[in-house]
Amino acid sequence: MIDDRRRHEPGGAPVPDEVGGPLHQVVVSEALKALSPAHREILNETILRNRSVDDAAKALGIPVGTVKSRVYYAVRALRIALQERGVRA
């Protein structure tokens, strides 16, 4: 009965802290896998490696404008992938 009620409530039950960290990592990892290789690559260079747009462009051998465009669309696609997995901002 409780599970049925939680299923119909927005947000569901809170996740305990000791489970939340690893669970969030799995959800983000799965969302990243849903992105195209180009989007994963650009997020890896700019966000995970903390490179500037100019540095990412040099590392990937693509124009700066392409990096900016890919970052924009990659973040947008990642947001959608996370929302599909129940993550809310």
AA letter at 85? R
Helices (H) and strands (E) in the chain, counts: 5, 0
pTM as predicted: 0.72
- Output the pLDDT for position 1: 45
- Output the pLDDT for position 23: 79
3-state secondary structure of 23: helix
- Output the pLDDT for position 25: 86
- Output the pLDDT for position 56: 97
Per-residue pLDDT of the chain (89 residues; tens, 9 = 90+): 445 444 455 555 555 555 567 878 888 899 999 999 999 999 999 999 999 999 999 999 999 999 999 999 999 999 999 999 988 86
- Output the pLDDT for position 89: 67
Contact 17, 24 (CB under 8 A): no
b/e 34-73 (16+ beta carbons within 10 angstroms → b): ebeeebbbbbebbeeeebebeebbeebebeeeebeebbee
CA gap 70, 84 in Å, rounded: 21
